[in-house]
Amino acid sequence: MFTDSHCHLNFPELLEKLTPIRAAMAEAQVDRALCICTTMEEFEGVHKLATDHDNFWATVGVHPDTEGLTEPSLQDLLDRAALPRVIAIGETGLDYYGMEDRKGGRTVADLEWQRERFRTHIRAARACRKPLVIHTRSASADTLRLLREEGEDGAGNLAGGVFHCFTETAEVARAALDMGYYISFSGIVTFKNAQDLRDVAAFVPMDRLLIETDSPYLAPVPYRGKVNNPSYVPFVAKQLAEVKGTSVQDIAEATSRNFDELFLNRSNAA
């Protein structure tokens, strides 16, 4: 019934509890999950989850905040994208959040390495025609600009993809949708102070909507502050159903259908 389109089941706090998590998923009718890669070093573990379990799939990519680890070449990404059950490139994108604290006072100009890495991922996705899983934080203008410059402008899309864990404005959502991208909402949409985000969710068409946990992070209400896992994704669906004035089942069916359309129907890795 439900599909978690973005989770990190390879992270230790989830991997060590994988058997009970899978049982909880089954009980919650969360039938499928996409396991997201954030470094080249962890790809093997992410891929093993997908090859060991017929309701998991994998991505390959390096998170924009990753520093000091393997920098992927175009060929690195393409080689891994060609493996069974690898259905997307990412997560990738740009993250300019906390320039003073998190990035040591560097400026946006100092983060050209992020932009070059993102370009490499876009080019890989276009070359293998698999979708991008995009992380953008305090960087939406550059994220959209680079996608357009690399040909992902809605007219020339070879990759397409999803803006995951969406927290941006309605204007950014509109731009992403106009470019042919999907929008995914996480447990943040259930938070008390997230009315602006719920307003954005109301705007996103049902045929471009995805749901996710981004677990182990961002557990939805009523589990906020606890370790998240894919069995909690129905709480995201419940909030979206309330926002859109429809049923949880409608949200589950639409988002699972959208997952198929974006990731599986176009992929030889399914």
Residue 163 lies in a domain: yes
One-letter amino acid at 48 equals K
**Omega within 30 of 0 (cis) for the link into 91:** yes
Query: Looking at the predicted structure, is the pLDDT value of residue 232 above 60?
Result: yes
What is the residue type of 257? R
| H or E stretch at 238 | helix 233-244
pLDDT in tens, 39-80: 999 999 999 999 999 999 999 999 999 999 999 999 999 999
Any alpha helices (H) in 165-209, and if so which ranges?
A: 170-178, 195-203
- Token pair listed for 222: 């009523």
Q: Is residue 24 part of a domain?
A: yes
Distance CA 139, CA 206 (A): 25
Using CA atoms, how far residue 192 sits from 5, 59, 185, 221, 245, in Å, is 23, 32, 15, 9, 18
Structural domain span for residue 179: 2-264
Say how far residue 47 (Cα) sits from the centre of its chain: 16
Instruction: Identify the three-state secondary structure at position 5.
Output: strand
Q: How confident is the model at residue 267 (pLDDT cuts 50, 70, 90)?
A: low
For residue 112, the model assigns a pLDDT of 95
Percent of the chain residues past pLDDT 90, beyond the cut: 93
CB contact set of 68 (below 8 Å; sequence gap of 6+): none
Look at residue 128 and tell me if it is in a domain: yes
Residue at 269 is within a domain: no
Looking at the chain, how many residues does it have? 270
- Cβ burial of 154 (10 Å; 0-12, 13-18, 19+) is middle
**CATH code: domain of residue 258:** 3.20.20.140
Do the domain assignments include residue 244? Answer: yes
The model's confidence at residue 141, banded by pLDDT at 50, 70 and 90, is: very high
Q: How far is residue 36's CA from residue 15's CA, in Å, rounded to a whole number?
A: 13
Contact call for residues 183 and 209 (beta carbons, < 8 A): yes
Domain count, the chain: 1
pLDDT for residue 104 is more than 80: no
Q: What is the pLDDT of residues 170-196, one digit of tens each?
A: 999 999 999 999 999 999 999 999 999
Average pLDDT across the chain, whole number: 96
Residue 180: inside a domain: yes
270 occurs within a structural domain: no
Which tokens belong to 106? Answer: 């560097």
Q: Is residue 126 part of a domain?
A: yes
- CA-wise closest residue to 88 among 37, 139, 151, 14: 37
Contact 172, 129 (CB under 8 A): no
Largest CA distance in the chain: 48
Share of residues in the chain with pLDDT > 70 (%): 96
pLDDT greater at residue 101 or residue 74: 74
Neighbours of 110 (CB within 10 A): 12
Range 8-13 average pLDDT: 98
